[in-house]
Structure 1
């Protein structure tokens, strides 16, 4: 058993929390990693962690999760630190939540509820708000008994933390009203998904390569997107950059931007929501249409925080989540971000200093704000995207001037020759272009 006290910083928080964890499998490293992540998730919701208590049991207590003796310790900590909420590291059953709230006389939240609240707070677009609200109601439905009528979809500035950010209107939490609202949300989300599919079809038909940034939350995806926009974006910077902040789930909304580096082919770059261990299934399901952007990409850039000691675990979580949403077979480049921090640490410790940027095969070590790193990343992306291209000769009639312009913008052309019968190109075609324009192909070289 372990109690840990954290001194509050001078930052202002909306509430104070006691964290509680239960280790049932004696894997100390994994448990400590999960508790550290729970602390960061709590801070991301603007809640101060004032105390942490842990317990070791062979299995969770069916009634109170941590056992009656530990509940008394938690209650004493709540009173001592005047905590507003107790947050548990794992998912609690509805009965456990009711029993704990009755015994502790304060709000109880589990990891799933905490992540849902972060998503509710950060959701900006209509689609993400609908997705979060649906996931929240799905989570609340089996937990109605014993909640009373104190909960509503809009908590405002007071009341229970777990009510904040779910919507604009009051909602009485009875099963019939929730199920009715969920049906409404499903219909609205179906409409939004049709819009997203239409937009995706337009992007796919544009013949530009589609590349998605994926990875663990707070690995630096948005930083890479913003850096590329500032260097090579083709649109207004103020309108096109996204929120960039050192916290878990700083951004939830999918953003697609056109990047047009000089001497390179332009491409569409998509920033997606970050992944995390034990991402609530309801969120994965609700955000499926958003997460599936990765499934339709030509290439994934898996961004990894190389300075984080747990980066290998984060890579595994990302791999599992991509497989779950059907994107497990999309080609990947592993982008080890914050490698400059590792380089600096090696210099300070007189160790063998790594080179940044450095690329090999499908891996590249970069600093997201360094132009040389980003240029090296673009070079590797083009190399990866062209691995399966077909080198061939095409003969275009002079009447196909618009197609010639498209090929010049989107493909690598080795030679252009103007013949009496048309324009002959020695060109690399990707699978999409080859299947679309194979009638103009006169010879396949390799």
Structure 2
């Protein structure tokens, strides 16, 4: 499997992963042609995921720019088409209370307002683009895998409800068992608004909207080299090139090694793996006891997350291999299945029909960042958005809009994630060593009582 920490190129025109989302497509997916000429544009966007597609659409639709969008494979091939489909009111790894502790209540409120805007934008885009993405009934449980998390949950609830106007609920173990009898959970924080959907259908809908706005989208066209003669960027693909004054990088967790100095050493690509079971029988559904079709995540350092899908299957995900070449080894799917069965002992006979993995981008400070190089910089005209830490489905759509506004000289909210570049990892070449040590620490943390 492509490994962005090791590979300098993402490949060309690879097929979509054999995921549950891909299997549920009604027919063959559109294949966008590769760039096979030398062309010019006002702006080039690199990466046809949630961020890149929304940035490109905004630039073409709102600012009347001639936009070329380059994708190494096809829209949604990366994390945008592989994730679990959780539509959350947040991003990164910091909740509102943690943001307040780090930046103060005023900034925490401003960040949350932006996250709420992103959450609402995803809904608006679904309606506007008539995107049918199997949206499910709302309900999000953040599970406490140990009683020590219940006190912090109470603090989070009080802050969110009193300061941010949310309507979170804290569920005791007995209350939780009536709604979601996960045998590993000791209570939960419940958000009645967040929901699940089909992430691949969503990104393909975004692609259709971008094309309708006038974006020229090329698939099978990775950027293999990047030249900047006299301040004009020339991006070279396998069969062509494109020149433009401005370039937006929206490759996030799939950014190749040494792709651009602005991102060098600033992201840690981490594999998240997902299994999807066979459809549960009526008896299994009754014994498992899940009410509705909620989305669920726990408090482990190495988190598990799951949801009941519209056809009665269970999707269950968590951290997988460290290296790309190990991603498809059976033991990682087996570990996820064992964890699922610990949560739902009544499902001991359940089997797995689908398994896949994808890269998420972790930042040094647990926050995403949007950044534009200064005009007096060698990289003038280049901007990026990256570092969603595996929680970017909602925020990435708004990040694309903000990235477009930034490129066009518009003012954007004065938030921490918009004011500074991504921080460089210390001893960046040893990031994988640090990741291994963190995983060992995380397993110890998750098992301690």
> Under a length normalisation based on structure 2, what TM-score does the superposition of the two structures give?
0.22
Q: Which has the higher contact order (CA 8 A, sep 6+)?
A: 2
Higher helix share: 1
Structure of greater Rg? 1
> Under a length normalisation based on structure 1, what TM-score does the superposition of the two structures give?
0.22
